[in-house]
Homo-oligomer: A and B are copies of this chain.
Amino acid sequence: MRIEGVEVMSVMEKLGTRKTEIDREIEVALAVGENEKLRAAMKHYPLAGGKRLRPVLAYLVADAISGNGPLTVPFGAGLELLHNFTLVHDDIMDKSDMRRGIVSVHKKYDTPTAIIAGDALFALGFEEICKLQVDDVLLRIILNDTAVAVREVAEGQQMDMDFEKRNDVQVKEYLAMIDKKTARLYFTAARVGAVIAKGTIDQIKAMGDCGYLMGVGFQIWDDVLDLEGDEEKTGKSFAGDIREGKRTLMAVYAMNNLKGDEKKTFLSALGNSKASRRTLQDAIDILHKSGAVSYAKNFALEYVREAKEKTSVLQSSEAKELILEMIDFLIRRES
């Protein structure tokens, strides 16, 4: 909603009709199918009020390049459906009960329905992208790049799962994992936004890089929020990443730097689904004290700074300003 006359307006509010267009496209897309239960399960996350960061990014990039943001809407909506499919499947694997403040799909329905709903969202995402009003030759490239991106997201998820069994994950490996698991969809959003807007090769390249850097910054900040965030605001359960044994940048830092009792306490909480709130709080305190949290924050800030630099290929415009604000928003948000 626009709050006129108020100076401190969040970037999400400033997006105005852009986000409404995207929301509307997603809502209409999700009205398909004949099986009521499946349709409801498919809608559960996408209509629970996400921030639509990926479609918004594609839209703003195209707007900044040639004012062609509206052309990106089916692509952005498709990408959002693909992102949501990965959330549905990830929550099954991670045994997460909550997401966006609501119960997860496999908890609300059942695991088979959640697997199928994810698959159907995947297919629907591609149907949406097929609607793009761009040259057919461009559509082939966009669809192929998106399929590759989704496969890499799957590979990133596999790495994430593999890491949960290891205590020797290095920062470089962590970065390779979130490159695929998270940053790849931001990369694709920004890059394809530039392609649809018929940007120059320099702009297409820089926007892809910008998306990648934003994605890494976003994921690291998301992990920090999991520790520091207010449960009510993030909609996630307390210290979920620690309980699930996620190798976040903070956990990786801690496992490579902690010693003695602190390491023992931290490891006793990591991946321990039955850890008490007290143990989890101790683990969080150790992450703070050891410098792991500030290490991660600085890491995210550095990526965000570089992401902003990449926007130098864009001429001044309201859309460019919004991209810069959106990048800042990634590390200021509380949910």
Q: Interface on A for B, CB 8 Å cutoff?
A: 32-35, 37-38, 85-86, 89, 92-93, 111-113, 115-116, 118-120, 122-124, 126-127, 130, 135-137, 139-140, 143-144, 147-148, 150-151, 154-155, 157-159, 161-162
Determine which residue in A35, A89, A119, A122 has the highest number of CB atoms from chain B within 10 A of its CB, and name it: A119
Contact of A33 with B151 in the complex, beta carbons under 8 Å: yes
Contact of A115 with B93 in the complex, beta carbons under 8 Å: yes
Query: Chain A at the B interface: mostly helix, strand, loop or mixed?
Result: helix
Distance in Å: Cβ of A125 to nearest Cβ of chain B: 8
Measured between beta carbons, the chain B residues less than 8 angstroms from A124 are 147, 151
Copies of this polypeptide in the complex? 2
B38, B113, B116, B122: the one contacting A119 at CB < 8 Å is B122
Contact of B143 with A126 in the complex, beta carbons under 8 Å: yes
CA distance A32 to B33 in the complex (A): 33
B119, B130, B140, B150: the one contacting A154 at CB < 8 Å is B119
Contact of A158 with B113 in the complex, beta carbons under 8 Å: yes
Measured between beta carbons, the chain B residues less than 8 angstroms from A93 are 111-112, 115-116
CA distance A38 to B126 in the complex (A): 23
Contacts A/B (CB < 8 Å), 26 sampled: A32-B151, A33-B151, A33-B155, A35-B155, A35-B158, A37-B158, A38-B154, A86-B119, A92-B115, A93-B112, A115-B115, A116-B157, A119-B119, A119-B154, A123-B147, A123-B151, A126-B143, A126-B144, A127-B147, A127-B148, A127-B151, A130-B143, A130-B147, A136-B136, A136-B137, A139-B140
CA distance A159 to B34 in the complex (A): 10
B116, B137, B155: the one contacting A161 at CB < 8 Å is B116
Determine which residue in A38, A112, A143 has the highest number of CB atoms from chain B within 10 A of its CB, and name it: A112
Measured between beta carbons, the chain B residues less than 8 angstroms from A116 are 89, 93, 154, 157-158, 161
Q: Smallest CB-CB separation from A161: which chain B residue?
A: B112
Contact of B162 with A120 in the complex, beta carbons under 8 Å: no
7 smallest A-B Cβ distances: which pairs?
A136-B136, A123-B151, A93-B112, A130-B144, A126-B147, A120-B154, A123-B150
